[in-house]
A and B are shown apart, each in its own frame.
Chain A
Amino acid sequence: MNPISKIPSNEITPEETFLNRRFFMKTAIWAGSVVATGGMYRAFSPRADVKSTGSEIATVVDSTFQSSLGADEKVNSFGEIAGYNNYYEFSTDKSAVAAKAKDFVTDPWSVEVGGLVGKPRVFGLEDLLKMESEERVYRFRCVEGWSMVIPWVGFPLVKLLNLVEPKSEATHVAFETYYDLKQMPDAGSAGIDLPYVEGLRMDEAMHPLTLLATGLYGKTLPNQNGAPIRLVVPWKYGFKSIKSVVKITLTNREPPTTWSLANPGEYGFYSNVNPKVDHPRWSQARERRIGEAGSRETLMFNGYEAQVSHLYAGMNLEEDF
């Protein structure tokens, strides 16, 4: 006997109700799936614009520095500079760093300067902000192949070094970034050893282009750009310009640097911008200037060849990359 025939006819769903229910279910699945897909896209797509929260830097004086930018080179916007950052302690997603670094505490702050110096000293943030500063508009070239033009505010590193009186046996300067897993909870998945360390040769550190930046666009640095104080070495790839510096040590040997520790075949100690020496995985001959549609040629020493090439005279830049 067919069991279906046992169902009383009054319990059979009328076709119209059945089709309505079906329509309702389909619509719900439609809507649910589209919201889920769209939501996932939104979760992984770039964040909203970043606004400045910095305060005016009072000690800025007129700069005699000649920016050497080409007529076709425009300064990048604040949103571009502060919305796209490599700061692996906070996130390896460049557009997520701003939000993740929002509550980073940069005041109080101190920078310990020591090693082979006559007068080791701990500088408080107020000491650093009291230094006579100037605006320096520099090209910034990331090793990943993108670049910007950034109006930094700061003072040459040499001014700070002179205050601690380097000893004659000092050959290099080592730098270290602040590191605290409580404030940087995602640092564990960065894939590089932290705290972040960098280094320069003494003559590179003393070069007038080498800057300690405390601000950009006339205001104190956003956290994601390395507040409250960072190094800027415009003729080297961006990762040499170490952020949120807490320690500067003068030494008599080449200091270890984070990226060459992580991958010595890809990142060297010098890491000078050089269109003729490719990264093993991509070309360095051209770069994508943020805000521009096409790409442009990468300049030797990032366009600062006239000022810095003498530092490397006689060196094989393919070996000492």
Chain B
Amino acid sequence: MAVTLSQDGRFHRQLIFINGLLPMVLIGFDAWRGKLGVNPAEFVTRATGVMTLVFLILTLLVTPLRKLLGWNWLLKQRRLLGLFAFYYCCGHLLTYLAFDRDWQLGTVFEDVVKRRFIAVGMFSFVLMVPLAVTSTNAMIKKLGGARWAQLHRLTYYITIGGVLHYYMIVKSDATYPLWFAAVVAVLLGYRVVVSLRKARERVAVGVVK
């Protein structure tokens, strides 16, 4: 018997895969036809950075959507969304090494120490690496579900770091980073509210005892 659309995990995966790759494909296509604008280096750097934030936000959207709308099928796709965030973050890092550092890899450490916004961005990237490494089924089994989930809560700090990194590089018009910050604040605020409520319930139960 055919599965319903909301249970069709393969379809969801393909959908995320195609739409996740599409921006990179379009960047490649525009590069090939020389239409990346007057300053291609700047455009590709910003585009990959923004895509990283978009995918981080999508991973943070999964839990609220499950809890509020019952879309439990999203859970299966969360790792793929996270891997896309990592994929675009690697692209972003490559643009930094190529365009900003001219492949002088020896100067990266000095740059991280010197510039706070680079340090914040690098902090987020470094935290993403263990999450990408542990994204396989085998690693979940090895770590155990609870520990794995705990480790992957680093996503909160990664996302905050990413938005801060964006905010810190803006010259004066912070409209876009502030929009990202507002969305992240809502998504993390939701989790704070839920955990506070749980804590209160625990206290209430304790009092009854």
Contact = CB atoms under 8 A, between A and B. Distances in A.
B167 to A, nearest CB: 12
A222 B99 CA distance: 30
Contact of B23 (A41, A144, A288, A290): A41
A34 B22 contact: yes
Interface in A14-45: 15, 18-19, 22, 25-26, 29-30, 33-34, 37-38, 41-42, 44-45
A271 interface: no
A79 B35 CA distance: 12
A2 B109 CA distance: 69
A288 B38 CA distance: 11
B47 A46 contact: no
Given A41-B26, A281-B115, A30 B15 contact: yes
Interface residues of B, number: 33
B172 A92 contact: yes
B80 interface: no
Contacts of B37: 45-47, 83-84, 95
Given A30-B18, A37-B22, A45-B43, A190 B173 contact: yes
Contact of B19 (A34, A190, A286): A34
Given A34-B22, A41-B23, A191-B174, A46 B168 contact: no
Interface in A60-100: 79-80, 83-84, 88, 92, 94-95
Given A29-B15, A146-B42, A288-B41, A191 B102 contact: no
B5 A22 contact: yes
B47 A189 contact: no
A18 B2 contact: yes
Contacts of A92: 171-173, 175
Contact of A33 (B5, B15, B171, B175): B15
A240 to B, nearest CB: 15
Contacts of B18: 30, 33-34
Nearest to B3: A22
B36 interface: yes
A282 B172 contact: no
Nearest to B15: A33
Contacts of A288: 39, 41-42, 99
A160 interface: no
Interface in B91-116: 99, 102, 115-116
Residue in A190, A281, A295 with the greatest tally of chain B CB atoms within 10 Å: A281
Contacts of A277: none
A190 B172 contact: yes
B175 to A, nearest CB: 6
Contacts of B169: 281
Interface of A: 15, 18-19, 22, 25-26, 29-30, 33-34, 37-38, 41-42, 44-47, 79-80, 83-84, 88, 92, 94-95, 144, 146, 189-192, 262-263, 281-282, 286, 288, 290, 294-295
5 closest residue pairs by CB, A with B: A46-B37, A191-B172, A84-B38, A92-B173, A191-B173
